[in-house]
Structure 1
């Protein structure tokens, strides 16, 4: 696997962690939030680039795979936000303005999926926006 493909897969895996952190901000990932994530992956993330995983499927599916795996782990989302933050700092070239906008839109859509954004989810999205503005 080429290094750029490896970084591409890590990019999507880290997005899965971030989106899980947003959904888990209120200590509960609801089925509607998972459904909203899947919808965004299929409608928006599959078209971001041509990177494939080792199974020759679109690497964007890594978002769902990681999200599902973390959901089964039932851990706190803050650690995963921090992991995403480190990846972002190490690979800023992966985050074009258009991609940052899509990340924020996806996060807000997940947060709004169940009875609108609550305080915890709003804080997670605020931290994300603050990270992207630096």
Structure 2
């Protein structure tokens, strides 16, 4: 696997961590949040690039795979936000303005999919926006 493909896969894996952190911000991932995530992956994220994983599937599906795996772990999402933050700081070149915008839109869509955004979700999205302004 080429280094750029490896980083491409890590990019999507870290997005899975971020979106899980958003869904888990209120301590519970709801089915409607998972459904919204899957919709955004298929509608927007598959079109971003041509990276494929080791099984020759679009790397964007790594978002869903990691999200599902983390959901089985049932851990606090804050640690996964920190993982995403570390990846972002290590690879800022992967985050063009249109990608940042899509990340924020996806996070907001997940957060608002169940009874609107609550305080913990709003706080996490605010932290994400601050991170992108650094």
TM beyond 0.5: yes
The two structures have a TM-score, normalised by structure 1, of 1.00
RMSD (Å) for aligned C-alpha atoms: 0.2
The two structures have a TM-score, normalised by structure 2, of 1.00
Q: What's 1:21 paired with?
A: 21
Deviations 1:13-44 (A, max 9, x none): 00000000000000000000000000000000
Secondary structure in 2 aligned to 1:36? Answer: helix
- Unpaired segments ≥5 residues, structure 1: none
- Unpaired segments ≥5 residues, structure 2: none
Deviations 1:22-79 (A, max 9, x none): 0000000000000000000000000000000000000000000000000000000000
Secondary structure in 2 aligned to 1:117? Answer: coil
Q: What's 1:87 paired with?
A: 87
Q: What's 2:118 paired with?
A: 118
Q: Structure 1 segments of 4 or more deviating over 3 A?
A: none
